[in-house]
Chain A
Amino acid sequence: MSAPGTLPFCYRLLRRQLVLAVRRPVEIGNPLLFFAMVVALFPLGLGPAPDKLAGFAPGILWIIALLSNLLTSDAVFRSDFEDGSLEQLLLSPQPLFMSVLAYIAAHWLITGLLLALVSPLFAVMLNLPSQATGTLLASLLLGTAVLSLVGCIGAALTVGLKRGGMLISLLILPFYMPVLIFGSAAVQAAVRGAPAGPYLAIIGALLCLAIALAPLAIAAGLRISVDG
């Protein structure tokens, strides 16, 4: 059997990751459940006054999306590292840059996309003014993709470590901060009725930068983790 081309290979890799995820629906549901639970924490901690919550809602929603993304990114490469299929991937003649993108795409489809799609529901619960819902959705769609790319850098660097969980948050949270700044600023602008386009454009620029550079770092990180 001849080796498949790069694109069919990446497509198969993406399909494999998605099939693995769909076979264990609870794992897909967990980040969403986490999202819902942390949303419930804020009215308890800050007090249930609707106008106060509405003011904080853009930041709250963005921070929770960021945290659930962070918690899931730890597992992206772990099972494949443990059963050795990651090693096979590194040995295969396929460019690692593209295969890594397939992993990230799967991670984003399972967490970021779903989080963005359910976010309007939680926005209503936190009294986010309805004119900002579209911007929230758009900023989360773009932003969680950046978060997935950056998060996978941390995952690649720590996958070989026994106790990676806490470390990965320390490593990648600094890189999440610019995304959080522009993401929540976009939603806040929309709440005020100001144009959110410039902020979304900056997140889009961050996404382009991350797509171009993050897979290089992830590929290097995976090679270090597998060799080390």
Chain B
Amino acid sequence: MWSFFHKFGSPPWLYSIAGSILRWLLPITLVALAVGLVWGLFFTPPDFRQGNSYRIIYIHVPAAVVALAGYYVMAIAGAISLVWKMKMADVAMKCCAPIGAALTFIALVTGSIWGKPTWGTWWVWDARITSMLILLFLYLGVVALYEAYDNKEAASKACAVLALVGTVNIPIIYKSVDWWYSLHQPASIKFTGESTIDPSMLYPLLLMIIAFYALFTCVLLMNMRAEILARESRTGWVRKLAVSGGRG
């Protein structure tokens, strides 16, 4: 158990293991994304009320789900780095923030594009939309705080504290649609009880959600590899890697 833990703290080990995970995860992700998109956009029946415009759900919902989950990944990585002073958890936390911000932004933009034909407006100040906007601000706050520190070790710790404080907001965002009756529809997919979405639309949606999770993991690992190289650029193993042309 402990040797596993120590291995996680080792940059060369994490760099190579992330590389070998990416080698098979990245192709699978791209295939799943392509299949899910084609299935969702071309082979699902049109909605009886929204027609074809609902098809943006195959991007909107996965992006929003993973944006929320990404915050937990960031906060948990931050907690690990604060408690066990693990450098690699730092790297994971730092790399989560821009990805999460991008996904939140995608969810907001697609939601806004979806809102125009169905609600007749680009933007409403409804509970879920506002709280997703707050999530975007939380992510951007972490990025801004990290950039403001010159001492990157202190920056990671400060960001970890900020990310942990922010977790208070996440359950509120998650449940906002259920707590406040608003324009945004409540969650259609339920783990317990009947889902309010037809199976012919549900399966491609589930595939897209899984694909987005995998995409998040891939981009996170790629970012982490780049960050590890940047932080360790003065060490011997990175030099050796650079000399051998990345095959080391």
Residues of A within 8 A of B (CB): 153, 157-158, 160-161, 163-164, 167, 170-171, 173-175, 177-178, 209, 213, 217, 220-221, 224-225, 227-228
Contacts and interface: CB of A to CB of B under 8 A. Distances in A.
A167 B7 CA distance: 36
Contacts of A153: 161-162, 165
Majority SS of interface residues in chain A? helix
Contacts of A174: 134, 137-138, 141, 166, 169
Contacts of B162: 153, 157, 171
B148 interface: yes
Contacts of B145: 157-158, 167, 171
B149 A217 contact: no
A178 B140 CA distance: 18
A67 B168 CA distance: 22
Given A160-B154, A170-B141, A171-B141, A224 B172 contact: no
A213 B165 CA distance: 9
B172 A170 contact: no
A162 to B, nearest CB: 9
Contacts of B165: 153, 175, 213, 217
A158 B149 CA distance: 9
Given A157-B162, A174-B169, A227 B154 contact: yes
Interface in B134-188: 134, 137-138, 140-141, 144-145, 148-149, 151, 153-155, 157-158, 161-162, 164-166, 168-169, 172
Given A153-B165, A174-B137, A177-B134, A228 B148 contact: no
A70 to B, nearest CB: 14
Given A167-B144, A170-B137, A228 B161 contact: no
A73 to B, nearest CB: 14
B82 interface: yes
Interface size class of B (residues with CB under 8 A): 20 to 34
A228 B164 contact: no
B161 A220 contact: yes
A176 to B, nearest CB: 10
A175 B144 CA distance: 16
Given A170-B141, A213-B168, 9 more contacts: A153-B162, A164-B148, A171-B141, A174-B134, A174-B137, A175-B165, A209-B168, A220-B157, A228-B155
A224 B154 contact: yes
Contact of B161 (A157, A173, A175, A209): A157
A56 B107 CA distance: 31
B144 A228 contact: no
Contacts of B168: 175, 209, 213
